[in-house]
Amino acid sequence: MELNELLRGLNPEQRDAVTTIDGPVLVLAGAGTGKTRVITVRMAYMLATGIPPERILGMTFTNKAAREMRERLAQLVPGGGADKVTLGTFHSFCVRILRREISALNYLGNFTIADDSDQQGLVKQAIAQCGYGKDDISVSAVAAYISTQKNQLRFPGDAANAARNNFEASCAAVYRQYQELLELQNSVDFDDLLLLTYKIFSEFPEILAKYQERYRYLLIDEYQDTNDVQFEIVRMLCDKHHNLCVVGDDDQSIYSWRGANIRNILDFPSLYPGTKAVKLEQNYRSTNTILQAANAVIGGGGERFGKQLWSDNGKGEPLLLVKTDDGECEADFIAGYINQMMTENPSLKPGDFAVLYRSNHLSRQLEISFRNLGVPYRLVGGQEFYQRKEIKDAAAYLKVLVNLRDNQSLLRILPLPPRGLAEKAVNLLKENSGAGHSMRQILNSDAVAGKLPPKGAAAARELAAVMDKYTTEFETPGNLAAKVTGYLRESGYLDGLQAIYRDLEDARKRRENVDEFINAIAQYEMKSSEPATLAGFLENFALLEENDRTEEPQNPDGCVTLSTIHAAKGLEYPVVFLMALEDNVFPHERAVEEGNLDEELRLFYVAITRAKRKLIITAAMRRMQRGVFRNQRASRFLLRLPEELYEVANSDELIKRLEGDDLTRAFENIFNLLK
């Protein structure tokens, strides 16, 4: 394809980004500004100008993105060497390097890549070899620690030197042993793919020089999401020819909890002198009203490159801010309003709608409301609420109180959290049960306790005592949520979630889901026409789980999308509902407490820019939290929206109206409306 043909249809800024080939280039690609097109046309342009395809290296973060780019590139330059361009994820590129060069580190070229299960097993083995018991140090906590250290370029010796307390010192010792075990079996883990590539490039300049010469032109997608080790690999590769083009958006940097370092993109011009910065600000996705809202929201944030998104798509409809009485009413409104919009406008299909939320646990009530109305939906980036492991575990804790002989549930909860009741204790319980005696009945028996280590015996008696206490308490109906909260806390489950799951962020999300499970119990009790019992709730839970379970949709376009904002990044929908815009929900409670709101604000920006034609933002005046209704305050982020861009309504007004003109402002500003 001729050069002019390749450039046809590009706006001036896109053209600039495509044709500036030599030297460092920073492409600041705002949401919906045609980033993927720019990247693929840029590679096609390079090939058309005579750059050999073997000299081009493109890296992104997902296999899906890499496949899409390769397909588009092949269409642009059929038979022009597109298949010879190295294009893939960071990890796939590093595997390619290690297969050829890992012998420099005394590995064999036929190394295997340890999966999550392999890693957990090796960590467990390393813990034992370091002399720690299973309850002294958590496998998941150590695994998370090791991953963090590797992504921060720390080898075992570096980690030991950086240890700030006894826990980190213990983790560092296990890290050293774990790495030795990996090397003994000629294996690497997922993080090693990056770290060992960095090590080879750092310690063997002749190897680095070979790849610097081969890959003279580098293009990195989603650069704002790179971590420290990815940054260093890129820096070393381009250190000779300096032909580095990075594409990203600092306003969409939302993955610091996964190791992403926003400084990589913010500092790019100073780290690479002579950088040509190109801003892509023409948006091809949304109306100008939506973009003006996004600009206003992000404009008052922290350090950033200034961008002002605009569009040729016209002004569009005003944003709609909707208040509801509580979280249940909010979910009912969203499902009902989607149903109403599809009825009034047959051109709208379920796939045109998305409901976005800050945290996964908010999907529970939505799922119920959509099922009740028969509106098809799909969950993105997560399981249905009642299928999540922590919910199954919490339910198992309750089942053993209702059914003394539920051995399966008891076996499920004994190691959750780790308490010294490991495999030996489980085997003893199995051996001594039967003949009319359940495992729970003999949990604190002398027959079992006498054969356990003192710590395990004490743990068994303590757990049995808690179960006995709450079995008695639940014999009296009522006050279920408070009793469940007390039981899960005293049994160690609530506070033990951190020890069960891989990292602090994961444990926090699991705790939010368990809290939402307690909310479901409270709602069950409020709606029950008879005295509410734990057995009644578990019966209701089982029926919901069995009868209301949804199948994976064969046609995702025929379903409303329910998604966290994180999982929706990169996607777009004609109509977007953004729910639960309340302080301590969005922005998240932890961010408010820590005063770390910049990333939360960027997350709000990402949510707004998913909408193409219509954006509806909802907030509840009160929301159930841990089984108790609490009055809610409107999200401080809503105050950033210019008043001329939105209209306000109560949910009951909106769901009944037939004409858009009937919508009136009820309050001067959002804060007064929702406080």
- Rounded mean pLDDT of 607-633? 95
What's 349's DSSP letter?
Answer: -
Which residue did the predictor score with more confidence, 501 or 50?
50
Q: How far is residue 242's CA from residue 293's CA, in Å, rounded to a whole number?
A: 38
Q: What pLDDT does 544 receive?
A: 62
% of residues, the chain, pLDDT over 70? 92
Taken in order 282, 288, 293, 299, the sign of the CA dihedral is: positive
Ordered alpha helix ranges (H), 253-352: 263-266, 268-271, 288-299, 327-344
Q: What pLDDT does 212 receive?
A: 97
Q: Using the predicted structure, report yes or no on whether residue 548 has a pLDDT greater than 60.
A: no
Q: Using the predicted structure, report yes or no on whether residue 662 has a pLDDT greater than 50.
A: no
Tens digits of residue pLDDT in 286-306: 999 999 999 999 997 679 998
Q: Using the predicted structure, report yes or no on whether residue 15 has a pLDDT greater than 80.
A: yes
Angle at 586 between CA 580 and CA 592, to 5 degrees: 145
Least confident of 221-230, 500-509, 511-520, 557-566: 500-509
Would you place residue 670 in the very low, low, confident or very high pLDDT band (cuts 50, 70, 90)? Answer: very low
Residue whose entry in the numeric block shows the structure tokens 């005394």? 106
Tens digits of residue pLDDT in 174-184: 999 999 999 88
Name the active-site residue from 19, 36, 120, 471.
Answer: 36
Q: Is 485 a catalytic residue?
A: no
Quick one: tokens of 626? 């841990």
Would you place residue 411 in the very low, low, confident or very high pLDDT band (cuts 50, 70, 90)? Answer: confident
Q: What pLDDT does 501 receive?
A: 79
Q: What pLDDT does 547 receive?
A: 41
Tens digits of residue pLDDT in 417-426: 888 776 766 7
Question: What residue type is 625 in one-letter code?
Answer: Q
Q: What pLDDT does 663 receive?
A: 36
Which residues, 6+ apart, have CB-to-CB distance to 69 below 8 Å?
36, 39, 40, 43, 58, 60, 87, 221
Would you place residue 436 in the very low, low, confident or very high pLDDT band (cuts 50, 70, 90)? Answer: low
Q: What pLDDT does 536 receive?
A: 86
% of residues, the chain, pLDDT over 90? 67
Q: What pLDDT does 516 receive?
A: 92
Q: What pLDDT does 252 receive?
A: 96
Q: Using the predicted structure, report yes or no on whether residue 665 has a pLDDT greater than 50.
A: no
User: Residue 23, by phi and psi: left (phi above 0), alpha (psi -120 to 50) or beta?
Assistant: left
The Cβ-side half-sphere exposure at 213, using a 13 Å CA radius, reads: 6
Q: What pLDDT does 435 receive?
A: 55
Name the active-site residue from 197, 224, 252, 365.
Answer: 252
Tens digits of residue pLDDT in 461-487: 899 999 999 999 999 999 999 999 999
Would you place residue 375 in the very low, low, confident or very high pLDDT band (cuts 50, 70, 90)? Answer: very high
Name the active-site residue from 14, 15, 33, 35.
Answer: 35
Q: How far is residue 25's CA from residue 39's CA, in Å, rounded to a whole number?
A: 12
Name the active-site residue from 222, 406, 516, 600.
Answer: 222
Q: Using the predicted structure, report yes or no on whether residue 553 has a pLDDT greater than 80.
A: no
Name the active-site residue from 221, 281, 330, 393.
Answer: 221
Question: For 211-269, where are the E strands, in sequence order?
Answer: 217-220, 244-248
Q: Is 495 a catalytic residue?
A: no
Q: Using the predicted structure, report yes or no on whether residue 191 has a pLDDT greater than 50.
A: yes
Q: How far is residue 668's CA from residue 160's CA, in Å, rounded to a whole number?
A: 57
Average pLDDT for the chain? 89
Name the active-site residue from 610, 612, 614, 623.
Answer: 610
Quick one: tokens of 374? 């028969």
Q: Is 330 a catalytic residue?
A: no
Q: What pLDDT does 362 receive?
A: 94
Q: Is 221 a catalytic residue?
A: yes
What's 165's DSSP letter?
Answer: S
Q: Is 36 a catalytic residue?
A: yes
Contact 429, 451 (CB under 8 A): no
Tens digits of residue pLDDT in 228-256: 999 999 999 999 999 999 999 999 999 99
Tell me, letter by letter, the H, E, C secondary structure of 574-636: EEEEECCCECECCCEHHHHHHCCCHHHHHHHHHHHCCEEEEEEEEEECEEEECCEEEECCECH
Least confident of 59-73, 214-228, 333-347, 576-590: 59-73
